[in-house]
Each structure stands twice: as C-alpha cells, then as structure tokens.
C-alpha cells in the first residue's frame, strides 16, 4: 500500500522540477537526488507488497518510508507556498522579497539536508535487515495516454448490473409488490449476510417497469450502522422529488418529529414504494414507520438487513425473505460472464483452475465478481499464479476467501487506482457517490495527471471505471452509456477504511467519534454533526457529509488546504486561515456573507461548487487561470477571463454570458445558461451563433422565463449548425417558446442522444422528424403546450429507447416500434 503514496510523492517532486523549475532552482540537484533515492526505495516496496504476509521488520520499515514521503510532500508544498505568497506582495512589502527568498532558500536547503540524512538511514536499515528485492515499478516508462488506452481496452463497455441466481427471488418478491388484493401498507424484508446481493435485488425490483408503472411515488434511502433519523427522513423526502429546493432548505432545520409529520403529509392518500436499505437495528424502523402512512392505497416498503431479528421484527403485515448462497452452477455462470471477457480460447486447464477458485468463494456473489474482475485482466498463464497465491493464504477451510480476494485485487491496481480506491473511504456507508464530484475531488487532491492528449478528468474517469470493471465499485446510475453515480459495498468500504487507517491517509469522524485519532492525517472527514475535532496544520482536505450544523471555532489553520467541501456546515469563510492553496471549494449551508471577497484570494482554485445556493453578488474570477468547474446559480454578475481549462459552467445568466469571450473557453463541455431575457426584437438574448466557438461542448441547457422566443430558422442559426453540432450529446430547452418547428434544425446534430423540451410552448401546431433525423437519439422528452401533432417518419430515431409526451391531446403519428416506448408524463 505504501508504494501508492511513494509513487504519488515521486510524481509530485517531478512536477515541481518541471512546472516550477525557476522556484526550485536553488535545490534542484538535492531534489533530483531525493527523487532518485525514493524511486529506488519504491522498487523495494513493490517487492514487500507482493509478499503474501509482511514480517514485522518490513512493516516497520514501510512505515518509516511512509512518514518520510509525507514529510517530503510537506517541505515541498510549504516552500512553494512561501514563494507564491512573496510573488503576490505589493508596495513596500515587495522590497523585502529578495531577502525573504534567500531566507526561504536557506530554510528549504536545511530541510532537504535533513530529509537526505533520513533517506540514507532508511536505505541502511533496508540493507541491514535484508528487506525486499529491487523491482521496477509497474508501468515504468509508459506514457499516460498509453496506460489509459490499455485501461480502455481492458474494461467492458457499458456493463450493466448482472443479477445471477436471484431470478426466482425477484419473481416471488415482485408478486408481493404487485399484489392488487393487498390494500394495506405491506412490508417486504430481504435479509442475509453481507455480499449476497440484497441491495442488488432491491434495486432490480425498484427499477422494474411494472413497479414504476404501479407506484407513482417512489423513494430510496439507506440507514447503515451509524444513522440519524433526520438524515434518513430527508433522503426519503428528496428522493420523492415532490419538494422544491427552497422548501427543502426550510425543512432541513426541522426536528425529527417535524420531519416525520411533513413526510407523512406528503405520502398521505398516495400509493408509494419506499426502499430502506441496510437496516441494522429495530429502533431504526421504529423511527421511520411513524412517517410512512398505513393507508389503504396498496403502498409497499422494502427493507434490506443482515439481521433476521430486524427482518422479522417489523409490525403490521410483512413478508421476510432470506437470501441464499449461490449454487456452484450459478456461481460459475456469474464468474463466466465477467472473467472471460478478454480470453478467446478456454482450455480445460483454465476452466479447471477457474472452477477451483470459484468453489472457494462458497457461493458469495461479491467475492465471485471481485475474483472475476481480477482474473479478467490476467492472461491464462497468470491464472495459476493467482490460484497459487490463494492456496498459500488459505491454510485451512476456516479462513473465508473473500478478504483475501479483496486484498489481491487491491494489490493488482496501479498506484493511481489505489489512491482512487482508498479515497472512497471518505464517503459514508451506503452513500450514492456522484461520479463527476468524485472526479473533481481526485483532480483537486493532485492524484491525477493529464497530458497533451487527455484532460485529467478523462483520466480519472478511466481509473474509476477500472474499479467498477473489477467490481470494487458498483455503478448505480448511467446516462448516455456513462456512469453518473456509484456505490462501494460495505465490505469493500471496510477494506478501504482499514488500509486508509494504516496509511494515515484519511481520518473519519462518525457521530462525534474519530475512527482513529490523528493530528497529522492529511484528510479529515466528518460524516455526522460534530462540534470539535483535532486541529491539524498538515491537513490537505476537509469534507463534511452530515446534515445542517454550525462550526464556530477556527479549525482550518493550515495554509496547505487543497480541498474544502463544507456541505451543509455553516462556517464563516473569512475565518479560514489563508486558504491560498485551495483547489476545491464546495459550499452548501454556510453563510455566504462576504463570499465574493473571500473567493478572490483563491488564485489556484479549480472547482467552485455552490450548487445549493443562489449567488446575487458579483463574482470576479477573471484572474483564475486554473478554473476547471464553476457550479451554482449565479444571479449576480459572473466574470470569467482566460480559463482555457474550464469544462463546467452552470448556471450563468444570459447577461453575464454575453460579456464573456467564448473563444477563450476552448475546453468547455457542460454549459447552462438561464434567465434569457428578451431583446428589443423580442427574441432570446442568447443565440446559437454565440456557441460556435465551443468546439468541445457536450451538454447544453438553455433555461428561460416563459415567453422567450427562440428562432432556430434564422440564417445565423443555420450557419452555426455545422460548427456546434459536432460534439453535442445532450440539449435541454426549458420554458422557451418556438414559433416554428425546431426539429428540422435539431435533428441534424449527429451525436445528439438526449433532447428534452421542458415547459416549452409551440405556436406551429405540428412537429415533424424526417426519415434521416436523429440517428443517435436515445431519449426524447416533450413537455410542451399547444403541440397538436408529432409526426416521426418510419426510419427516424433508430436508437430511441425513451419517449415521453406530456400533452395527452397531442396526435401521435409515429412508427409502431416507438408506440411501446411512449408514456405520459
């Protein structure tokens, strides 16, 4: 595990030597020597990591290396910070820079001399105790683009969740869910040990077409071992989608009893389905049941739990369903689907080896899919090595194979993927992880490197998809073939937490208690309300996942902070101790007073996420050349300069957009423009032509006030079509009025997959799609007034899988193959 940290630090030294060469000129030779020594030690670490069991001497030596690597990072970051601070000084203070730089240089030289003595001592200890044998780091010499291409070839394409051996269970439970004779609230409990597939089965039922049609109101929540009733109730309320954002902010301050009454009122008289995933205590259900009406509408509740007493301890009408282990035949079927994706020929010896390993998994699906993910990247000759490694670790049948398989799979990862996996320990148990946010966090932490060919975000996505492909991470939601959210299984999360603790990588506070106390851990995470935690001047990251709370003390007294995700934590931003190095700022519930002045200090900021609040102040980001993602409702003026790396911009007012220079936003991929006011001619102030410079734009949302008229037939629009259409995959048009049919214009966008008209108006009466129109479109949603007729030619939209038309009076002249897709909204 330590090898992941050392390789990260070696890469950081290299980046400083290349990107900040002038700053580190005085210590260049010393840094080169440190880098060389640490690279050699990294090779020995690879040998130590490869052993089935580490001896105590190797463990202690590895810890010395880990502490050394962290200290190197501290010295370099602190020196870089001092030099950057001096370069920003103005007036009389600038006159002291020359002397100050010399003092800083002397200081860092002394620090590096100490580090050199330490690394020589570490090397002597390795030689004295005969630790490890030199191994070249995996992947040495290969370019980033080559490594990612290898990942791309290895991983499966758009792999959907496979549920094997649960078909009969799903059939039984679906009948219970759809039983028309059962009018009372009915509870279905699914129980069994961790890794059997309880959540997968519940999600299969939840996403069933019959279930979606039967239950208009559906919600999903998780409980876990450490829970707060208020958090669970809020997740159900949000999942129902019946409450506005403004209302959600109001009820977040409610007490538990008030939330129970509120949720009960939402569901009263309605036919609902609520899934409560991963309950550990009967008390958790007792807290929830009061909020779920016992009406006579045929509502259902699904509970998943590992504990039989919890499954059978619910009151009222219920059915408890125990999940069994897979038979060997089912286990082999599940294994085959994943393990042989890259193997063309399966000989008898390979099948025999595979079956021996599957037999050891004892019918536990999670263990089987992780083993299959590990072997899917191995050549047939390497299967025996994995099998032998398993046998060496399994001294007798009393040892379960799952932890060993999990550990083997982790050790096989590259150091970047290891860091990604370890980072998953920051998220609460059963948490649905927004993949785009995870990617932004990994980039801000400095774990991901890009190059001329690939953006860092693309590289990070491939590393995460490798974890999904290895079944170390589960894809939960996909859009347009891309994973949008994911989840780590409890058992695998336990592995990530254990390894993160050993590496002093993440310190998690749960319900006022730290999982391991540390004042030196780089990453501090709070999963519930907490008033106090240990001050830490080495802290690089702070993340908060609890519900609304207030932190009044000054805890961020570190100049090295890179990631600050405050979530619903209220904290005066001006109290942060000089957040000069900050790369990621996420604000949800904190006071936004003086935010404009505070943000102006963050010249290295990459991500600004204030998505839960409306900003009415002027935000000036013109000096921020490192910006990559700006997310929020910016009702005030938003000023952006030369931000060549900017990829996400939402939501910006049309007034602010028209003042920008789009030609400077060459990498913009996701754009949302709102409040499109009327021009003097009565047309929308944002035209298609203003988007022609955005050659990489993939997702576009135009959100207007009612009555805004957008013409797509103008010469300007037609001229812009060939330019902006090359990359667009999703277009959403909200509250816009069309005087003429927009389809002839939009159907020419060659890569368009999603097209959504939301609360739009149309004066023309009829919309038509020609035979060659929308070749790649998968989703068409029409929430429109006054749409008299929709005509789609027989050969149009060959890939459409989702069609929604709100107006029941709209006459549909569409191919029979599309009629089965149509549903009222």
DSSP annotation string for 724-783 = HTTT--EEEEEEEEESS-SHHHHTT-TT--EEEEEEEEESSSEEEE-TTS-SS--EEEEE
Whole-angstrom CA distances from 282 to 256, 287, 289, 291 are: 17, 9, 11, 15
State the pLDDT confidence band at 717, using cuts at 50, 70 and 90. Answer: low
Contacts for 413 with CB less than 8 Å, ≥ 6 apart: 421, 466, 467, 470
Instruction: Please check whether residue 467 is in contact with residue 421, taking contact to mean a CB–CB distance below 8 angstroms.
Output: yes
Least confident span in 87-91, 172-176, 445-449, 623-627 = 87-91
* pLDDT at res. 147: 56
Q: How far apart are CA 727 and CA 670, in angstroms?
A: 11
Pairing of strands 507-510, 482-487: unpaired
Residue 718: what pLDDT?
57
Q: What pLDDT is stored for residue 685 in this prediction?
A: 66
pLDDT value for 534: 64
Question: Per-residue pLDDT for 187 more than 90?
Answer: yes
Whether the per-residue pLDDT at 159 is higher than 50: the answer is no
d(CA 468, CA 146): 20
Among 763, 657, 654, residue whose Cα is nearest residue 707: 763
Nearest alpha-carbon partner for 120 in 44, 48, 11, 34: 34
pLDDT band, residue 440 (cuts 50/70/90): very high
403 pLDDT tier (thresholds 50, 70, 90): confident
* More confident site: 70 or 47: 70
Contacts by 616-622 with C-beta closer than 8 Å and gap 24+?
617/592, 619/595, 620/596
Distance CA 462, CA 455 (A): 11
Q: Per residue, what are the HEC states of 455-515?
A: CHHHHHHHHHHHHHHCCCCEEEEEECCEEEEEECCHHHHHHHHHHHHHCCCCEEEECCEEC
Question: Who's near 498: CB < 8 A, 6+ residues apart?
Answer: none
Q: What is residue 425's predicted lDDT score, i.e. its pLDDT?
A: 94
SS3 call for 415: helix
* pLDDT above 90 as % of the chain: 32
More confident residue, 659 or 594: 659
* Residues 383 and 373 sit within 8 Å (Cβ to Cβ): no
Across the chain, what does the average pLDDT equal? Answer: 82
Domains of the chain: 1-129 (no CATH), 167-322 (3.40.50.300)
Q: What are phi and psi of 132, to 5 degrees?
A: 70, 170
Question: Cα separation of 105 and 631, whole Å?
Answer: 39
Read off the DSSP letter of residue 136: P
Q: Where does residue 165 fall: left (phi above 0), alpha (psi -120 to 50 degrees), or beta otherwise?
A: left
Q: How confident is the model at residue 481 (pLDDT cuts 50, 70, 90)?
A: confident
Residue 160 confidence class, pLDDT cut points 50, 70, 90: very low
In contact, 676 and 708? CB cutoff 8 Å: yes
Q: Is the pLDDT of residue 141 over 50?
A: no
The rounded distance, in Å, linking the Cα atoms of 459 and 302 is 38
Residue 270 burial (CB count, 10 A): 15
User: Tokens for 597?
Assistant: 């002045």
Question: Is residue 88's pLDDT more than 70?
Answer: no
What is the pTM for the complete model shown? 0.86
Highest mean pLDDT among 12-26, 492-506, 667-681, 798-812: 492-506
CB 642 within 8 A of CB 620: no
What tens digit of pLDDT does each residue of 624-676 get? 889 999 998 888 889 998 888 999 999 898 888 888 888 888 899 999 998 75
Is the pLDDT score of 317 beyond 70?
Answer: yes
pLDDT, tens only, 207-259: 888 998 899 899 999 888 878 888 889 989 989 988 877 788 788 888 889 99
Please identify which residue in the block is written with the tokens 């980001």: 621
Cβ atoms within 10 Å, residue 124? 10
Question: Buried (b) or exposed (e) across 326-348, using 16+ Cβ within 10 A?
Answer: beeebbbebbbebbbbebeeeee
Q: Tokens for 628?
A: 């990559």
The whole-number pLDDT of residue 511 equals 57
* Integer Cα distance of 225 and 692 in angstroms: 52
The number of angstroms, rounded, from the C-alpha of 212 to the middle of its chain's C-alpha atoms is 26
Nearest Cα residue to 742 out of 724, 760, 723, 722: 760
Residue 133: the pLDDT is: 62
CA 264 to each of CA 261, 267, 291, 293, 330: distance values in angstroms, whole numbers, following the listed order: 5, 5, 5, 6, 42
Phi and psi dihedrals of 252, rounded to 5? -60, -20
**Beta strand segments in 587-719, E:** 607-615, 619-621, 629-634, 638-640, 648-653, 670-674, 699-709
Helices (H), 672-727: 715-724
pLDDT band (50, 70, 90) for residue 530? low
Alpha-carbon gap, residue 802 to 668, rounded angstroms: 28
145 or 194: which leads in pLDDT: 194
Q: Mean pLDDT, to the nearest integer, of 310-326?
A: 88
**Count of CB atoms within 10 A of residue 162's CB?**
12
Element holding 222 (H helix, E strand):
strand 217-222
Residue pair 117/26 in contact by the 8 Å Cβ criterion = no
Nearest to 696 by CA among 719, 665, 672: 665
Cα(82)–Cα(421) distance, integer angstroms:
32
Residue 294 CA to residue 277 CA, distance in Å, equals: 20
SS3 585: strand
Do β-strands 569-570 and 607-615 pair in parallel, antiparallel, or remain unpaired?
A: unpaired
- Mark residue 456 as left, alpha or beta (left: phi above 0; alpha: psi -120 to 50; beta: remaining): alpha
CA distance 667 to 669: 6
Task: Give dist(CA 602, CA 582) in Å, integer.
Answer: 6
How close are the terminal C-alpha atoms of the chain, in Å?
51
**Which pLDDT value is given to residue 155?**
47
Q: Give the Cα separation of 90 and 610 in Å (integer).
A: 31
- Output the pLDDT for position 90: 55
219: part of which helix (H) or strand (E)? strand 217-222
Which range is least confidently modeled, 227-241, 581-595, 601-615, 740-754?
581-595
Per the DSSP assignment, residues forming a β-bridge with 541 are 523, 563
> What is the pLDDT at residue 122?
87
The alpha carbons of the chain give a radius of gyration, in whole angstroms, of 28
Q: Where are the alpha helices (DSSP H) in 53-96?
A: 56-87
Higher per-residue pLDDT: 438 or 101: 438
**Res 215: pLDDT:** 92
């Amino acid at each position: 595990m330590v090898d992941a940290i050392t390789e990260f630090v070696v890469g950081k030294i290299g980046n400083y030597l290349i990107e900040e060469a002038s700053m580190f000129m005085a210590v260049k030779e010393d840094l080169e020597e440190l880098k060389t020594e640490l690279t050699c030690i990294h090779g020995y670490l690879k040998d130590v990591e490869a052993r089935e069991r580490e001896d105590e001497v190797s463990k202690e030596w590895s810890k010395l290396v880990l502490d050394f690597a962290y200290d190197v990072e501290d010295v370099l970051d602190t020196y870089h910070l001092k030099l950057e601070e001096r370069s920003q000084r103005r007036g009389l203070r600038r006159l002291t820079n020359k002397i100050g730089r010399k003092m800083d240089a002397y200081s860092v030289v002394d620090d590096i001399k100490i580090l050199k003595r330490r690394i020589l001592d570490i090397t002597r200890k390795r030689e004295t105790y005969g630790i490890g044998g030199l191994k070249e780091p995996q992947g040495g010499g290969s370019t980033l683009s080559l490594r990612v291409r290898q990942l791309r070839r290895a991983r499966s394409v758009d792999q959907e969740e496979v549920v094997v051996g649960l078909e009969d269970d799903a059939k039984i439970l679906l009948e219970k869910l759809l039983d028309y004779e059962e009018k009372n609230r009915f509870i279905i409990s699914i129980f069994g040990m961790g890794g059997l597939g309880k959540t997968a089965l519940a999600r299969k039922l939840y996403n069933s077409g019959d279930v979606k049609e039967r239950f208009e109101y559906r919600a999903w929540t998780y409980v876990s071992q450490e829970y707060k009733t208020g958090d669970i109730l809020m997740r159900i309320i949000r999942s129902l989608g019946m409450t506005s954002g403004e209302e959600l902010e109001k009820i977040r301050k409610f007490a538990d009893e008030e939330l129970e009454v509120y949720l009960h009122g939402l569901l009263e008289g309605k036919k609902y389905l609520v899934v409560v995933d991963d309950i550990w205590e009967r008390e958790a259900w007792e807290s929830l049941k009061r909020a779920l009406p016992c009406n006579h509408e045929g509502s259902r509740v699904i509970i998943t739990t590992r504990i039989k007493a919890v499954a059978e301890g619910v009151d009222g009408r219920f059915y408890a369903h125990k999940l069994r282990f897979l038979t060997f035949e089912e286990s082999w079927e599940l294994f085959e689907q994943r393990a042989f994706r890259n193997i063309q020929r399966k000989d008898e010896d390979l099948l025999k080896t595979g079956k021996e390993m599957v037999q050891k998994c004892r019918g536990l699906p999670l263990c089987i899919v992780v083993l299959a993910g590990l072997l899917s990247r191995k050549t047939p000759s390497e299967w025996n090595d994995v099998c032998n490694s398993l046998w060496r670790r399994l001294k007798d049948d009393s040892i379960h194979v799952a932890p060993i398989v999990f550990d083997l799979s982790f050790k096989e990862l590259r150091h970047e993927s290891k860091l990604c996996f370890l980072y998953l320990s920051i998220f609460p148990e059963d948490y649905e992880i927004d993949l785009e946010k995870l990617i932004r966090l990994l980039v801000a932490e400095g774990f991901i490197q890009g190059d001329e060919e690939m953006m860092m975000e693309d590289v990070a996505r491939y590393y995460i998809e490798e974890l999904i492909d290895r079944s170390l991470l589960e894809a939960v939601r996909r859009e347009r073939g891309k994973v949008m959210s994911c989840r780590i299984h409890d058992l695998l999360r336990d592995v990530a937490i254990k390894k993160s603790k050993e590496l002093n990588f993440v310190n998690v506070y749960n319900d006022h208690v730290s999982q391991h106390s540390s004042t030196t851990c780089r990453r501090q995470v709070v999963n519930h309300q907490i008033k106090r935690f240990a001050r830490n001047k080495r802290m690089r990251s702070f993340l908060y996942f609890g519900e609304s709370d207030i932190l009044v003390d000054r805890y961020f007294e570190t100049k090295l902070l890179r990631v600050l995700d405050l979530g619903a934590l209220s904290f005066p931003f001006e109290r942060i101790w000089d957040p000069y190095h900050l790369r990621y700022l996420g604000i949800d519930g904190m006071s936004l007073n003086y935010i404009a002045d505070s943000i102006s200090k963050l010249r290295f900021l990459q991500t600004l996420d204030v998505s839960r609040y409306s900003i009415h102040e002027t935000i000036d980001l013109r000096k921020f050349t490192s910006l990559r993602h700006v997310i929020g409702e910016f009702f005030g003026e938003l000023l952006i300069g030369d931000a060549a790396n900017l990829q996400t911009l939402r939501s910006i007012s049309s007034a602010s957009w028209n003042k920008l220079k789009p030609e400077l936003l060459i990498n913009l991929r996701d754009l949302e423009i709102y409040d499109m006011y009327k021009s003097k001619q009565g047309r929308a102030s944002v035209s298609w032509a203003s988007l022609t410079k955005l050659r990489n734009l993939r997702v576009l949302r135009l959100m207007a006030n009612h009555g805004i008229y957008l013409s797509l037939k103008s010469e300007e629009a037609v001229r812009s079509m060939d330019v902006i259409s090359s990359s667009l995959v999703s277009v959403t048009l909200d509250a816009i009025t069309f005087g003429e049919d927009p389809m002839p214009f939009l159907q020419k966008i060659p890569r368009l997959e999603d097209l959504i008209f939301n609360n739009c108006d149309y004066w023309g009466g009829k919309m038509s799609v020609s035979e060659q129109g929308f070749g790649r479109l998968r989703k068409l949603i029409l929430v429109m007034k006054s749409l008299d007729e929709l005509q789609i030619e027989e050969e149009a939209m060959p890939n459409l899988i989702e069609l929604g038309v709100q107006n029941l009076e709209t006459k549909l002249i569409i191919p029979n193959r599309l009629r089965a897709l149509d549903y009222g909204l």
